[in-house]
């Protein structure tokens, strides 16, 4: 079985065989008809692929990223397939710029029905290499957590008023089984996961779903500098984009490979064993 095969098989096992099984929701075109979908990190990689597929299915896709020329290329790709797309160039690390951007989006489109928090920053450094680099944790949190929360706080009032909405947070499979060497990255994604769990409890009766996608390795520019990933199994951006489309279609609470779920179970039963496994993996990679 290919790496893609095990991901999709495991993903659907997680989505449909849990304590609250979800029925298939027709087609993607039916799921996004008339919907406004905002995708961050939309100029390349996972975000670009997801935006093109969602736009082709009939969503109005609102594209956010820093690089305006690349965003325009995505707009052109969506429109070439008969869809509607609008580009919003913005550095989400800049709080004032992010606030201005989302106000413009809401003014021009009247709201956001589905928010895909995909933009992110990854830093690989061991604890020993991090002693004098607290700023690595701060800047990772700025994009991966605070920027995502800022967007959620802006779009959720409208979702609650309309009694429909979905927030899709692109997290990491390392949030399920640990990510030694990536402490800043994994912690920022965990914070986003936890705040969404709290928001979900407050909006459960309002037809709003917070979907956590524990994404495995994806062959994007983010992992290119890391030599250890050159030959590792990884999804393509197009495959990862289709995972996001599945999240829109099925609206699950959580999506992720089964082995990650099992690792969490081991961690709950015997934290010492889980810690030892994480330590062995870290030692093997250093």
Please, which residues have CB within 8 angstroms of residue 138's CB and are 6 or more apart in sequence? Answer: none
Token pair, residue 213, equals 């996608």
**Would the pLDDT of 222 be above 70?**
no
Task: Phi first, then psi: give them for residue 207, nearest 5 degrees.
Answer: 60, 35
pLDDT digits (tens, 9 = 90+) for 88-101: 999 999 999 999 99
Structural tokens at position 23: 């029925």
CB count in 10 Å sphere of residue 41: 26
Pair 258, 251: CB distance under 8 Å:
no
pLDDT of residue 175: 85
Residue 8 has pLDDT above 70, yes or no: no
The answer, yes or no, to whether residue 14 has pLDDT greater than 50, is no
Residue 88 among the catalytic residues: no
pLDDT, position 6: 37
Q: State which residues form the domain around 26.
A: 3-285
What is the pLDDT at residue 40?
A: 98
Q: In the structure, what pLDDT confidence band is assigned to residue 7 with cuts at 50, 70 and 90? A: very low
Could you give the CA distance from residue 198 to residue 30 in angstroms, rounded to a whole number? Answer: 29
* Residues 52/77, Cβ–Cβ less than 8 Å: yes
Contacts of 283 (CB under 8 A, 6+ apart): none
Q: How confident is the model at residue 13 (pLDDT cuts 50, 70, 90)?
A: very low
CB contact at 8 A, 223 and 234: yes
CA distance 258 to 188: 22
Q: How far is CA 265 from CA 70, 210, 262, in A?
A: 42, 22, 5
| Banded model confidence at residue 274, pLDDT cuts 50, 70, 90 | low
CA separation for the pair 24, 270 (Å, rounded): 36
**Position 275 pLDDT exceeds 70:** no
Pick the catalytic residue: 88, 145, 182, 185? 185
Q: How far is CA 154 from the centre of its chain?
A: 18
Half-sphere exposure of residue 217: CA atoms within 13 angstroms, side-chain side: 13
The number of residues in the chain equals 286
Maximum average pLDDT range among 137-146, 192-201, 220-229: 192-201
First to last CA, the chain: 29
Predicted local confidence at residue 137, as pLDDT: 79
Q: What is the CATH number of the domain that holds 197?
A: 3.40.50.720
Long-range contacts of 97-103 (CB under 8 A, 24+ apart): 98/147, 98/150, 98/151, 99/150, 99/154, 101/64, 102/150, 102/151, 102/154, 102/155, 103/154
Distances (CA, A) of 228 to 121, 185, 216, 233: 18, 17, 15, 11
* Structural domain total, the chain: 1
Reported as a pLDDT band with limits 50, 70 and 90, residue 122 is: confident
pLDDT of residue 160: 98
Radius of gyration of the chain, Cα coordinates, nearest whole angstrom = 18
């Amino acid at each position: 079985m290919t790496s893609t095969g095990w991901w999709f098989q495991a993903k659907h096992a997680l989505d449909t065989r849990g304590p609250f099984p979800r029925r298939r929701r027709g087609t993607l075109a039916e799921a996004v008809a008339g919907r406004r979908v905002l995708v961050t990190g939309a100029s390349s990689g996972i975000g670009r692929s997801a935006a093109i597929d969602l736009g082709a299915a009939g969503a109005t896709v609102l594209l956010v990223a820093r690089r305006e020329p690349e965003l325009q290329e995505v707009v052109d790709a969506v429109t070439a397939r008969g869809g509607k797309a609008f580009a919003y160039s913005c550095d989400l690390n800049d709080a004032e710029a992010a606030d201005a951007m989302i106000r413009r989006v809401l003014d021009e489109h009247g709201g956001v029905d589905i928010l895909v928090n995909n933009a992110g920053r990854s830093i690989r450094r061991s604890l020993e290499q991090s002693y004098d680099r607290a700023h690595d944790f701060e800047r990772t949190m700025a994009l991966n957590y605070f920027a995502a929360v800022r967007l959620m706080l802006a779009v959720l009032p409208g979702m609650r008023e309309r009694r429909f909405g979905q927030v899709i947070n692109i997290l990491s499979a390392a949030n399920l089984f640990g990510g030694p060497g990536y402490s800043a990255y994994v912690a920022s994604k965990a914070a986003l996961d936890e705040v969404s769990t709290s928001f979900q409890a407050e909006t459960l009766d309002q037809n709003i779903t917070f979907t956590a996608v524990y994404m495995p390795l994806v062959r994007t520019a983010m992992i290119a500098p890391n030599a250890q990933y050159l030959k590792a199994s990884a999804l393509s951006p197009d495959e990862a984009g289709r995972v996001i489309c599945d999240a829109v279609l099925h609206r699950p609470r959580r999506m992720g490979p089964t082995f990650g779920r099992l690792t969490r179970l081991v961690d709950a039963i015997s934290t010492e064993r889980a810690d030892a496994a994480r330590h062995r993996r870290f030692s093997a990679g250093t």
